[in-house]
Amino acid sequence: MQKYNSQQLMDIEHQYGAHNYHPLEVVIAKADGIWVEDPEGKRYIDMLSAYSAVNQGHRHPAIIKALKDQADILTLTSRAFYNDRWPLFAKKLAELTGKEMILPMNTGAEAVETAIKTMRKWGYKVKKVAANKAEIIVFKDNFHGRTTTIVSFSTDPDGHDFYGPYTPGFKIVPYNDLKAVEKAVNKNTVGIMVEPIQGEAGVVVPDDGFLAGLGKIAKKNKILLAVDEIQTGFCRTGKLFAYQYEDVNPDIIILGKALGGGVLPVSAVAANQSVLGVFKPGTHGSTFGGNPLACAVAMAAIDVLIDEKLTERAAENGAYFIARLRELQKRSDKIKLVRGKGLLIGLVLKKSAGRARQFTMALKEKGLLCKETHDWIIRFAPPLVITRADIDFAMEKIREVLI
């Protein structure tokens, strides 16, 4: 097979691929653990983890073994038949989340769509909201995916504009504002959907008590609370799920990204039978959802998270990384704020420092692959298998760029 260099590959993509992304100018050809490599052999630390889909590290041996072993036996049946992997995956994920039922899908956006359909159908069948009047409360600066329904309640112009007519039934209120939520509730409200930490908005961490407050509002008004843990879940923030920092028991947990172990798209909605029981045969589904290959990979991905204590490692190394960045903030005239939990970290630049893209490009040249979010925030979210020695190495490069 003909070999191409990085520039040639980027040129081919620019010619034949739709320009719906603005990638950092690096081509990744190999990966292992926290390290990735370009076609020329230069190595980089991955500080993005495919937006937290690679929490277990690239090509974790146990996950790759599960993939290969299952691929030799059975890959796809559709849900027209039972298979021998999906029941075991459903049991494992239900026990992990503390919920009674699992509905499998493929991508995070599909899981969000499933949660929306769940809340609406529950509203009509259980809460008895008038037909086609159901409303779901969502939050400004949210990011839940890119389907036409989901972008209907996006407040990001890039994600929202020029895709109308938009799907009705959503009330957008300010994030971290319980009073605004209470004011938005009415007789047609069926659900609240929230990110425990807003990742794409720039790693925005709400005040303590916000999620617990949402839980109380939901319970008081007979509303379903759905937490979108697609990016924050599976140990990323130093808890198995980010909502566990507070005393709240969400009705619906939306899962994706790291559930696939950085190998396959796997997503799911977890809830009790009183919620997911609204679905009957033929009312919702996916050809690939719950396929044997994905289930085998997801079970291995969960085992790695637990067996390697990645929750504890994310908490400890995340606190260390944040502390090091805050030390740097005191000596840098470019850093305004460092925020985050665990290994989901946002470094907010002062506007006077210039655009974040110039710094992510400079970090790339020094061997760190980070990505800007908006024009003034750099996100650090390495695989959870990163060590303190790796963080120290990364901090040397960050200091060189930001001092």
Give pLDDT tens digits for 195-209.
999 999 999 999 999
Q: Is 46 a catalytic residue?
A: no
Q: Is residue 237 over pLDDT 90?
A: yes
Catalytic residue check, 351: no
Residue 226 to residue 122: CA distance in whole angstroms: 13
Active-site pick, 121, 127, 171, 257: 257
- Please, what is the angle between helix 310-331 and helix 388-402, to 10°? 30
pLDDT, residue 236, reads: 98
CA angle 59/262/389 to nearest 5° reads 60
- List 46, 210, 228, 241, catalytic entry: 228
Mean pLDDT for the stretch of residues 313-323 = 98
pLDDT the model gives residue 283: 97
Cβ contact 26:38 at 8 Å: yes
Quote the mean pLDDT of the chain: 98
pLDDT in tens, 345-374: 999 999 999 999 999 999 999 999 999 998
Residue 257: active-site member: yes
The CATH superfamily assigned to 6-56+309-402 is: Aspartate Aminotransferase, domain 1 (3.90.1150.10)
What single-letter amino acid sits at 153? F
The pLDDT tens digits for 57-100 are: 999 999 999 999 999 999 999 999 999 999 999 999 999 999 99
33: left (phi over 0), alpha (psi -120 to 50) or beta: left
Where are the chain's structural domains?
A: 6-56+309-402, 61-307
Q: Among 89, 139, 143, 359, which one carries the catalytic annotation?
A: 143
| Residue 1 pLDDT greater than 90, yes or no | no
Domain at 61-307, CATH class:
alpha beta
The model's pTM: 0.98
* 260-298 confidence digits (pLDDT tens): 999 999 999 999 999 999 999 999 999 999 999 999 999
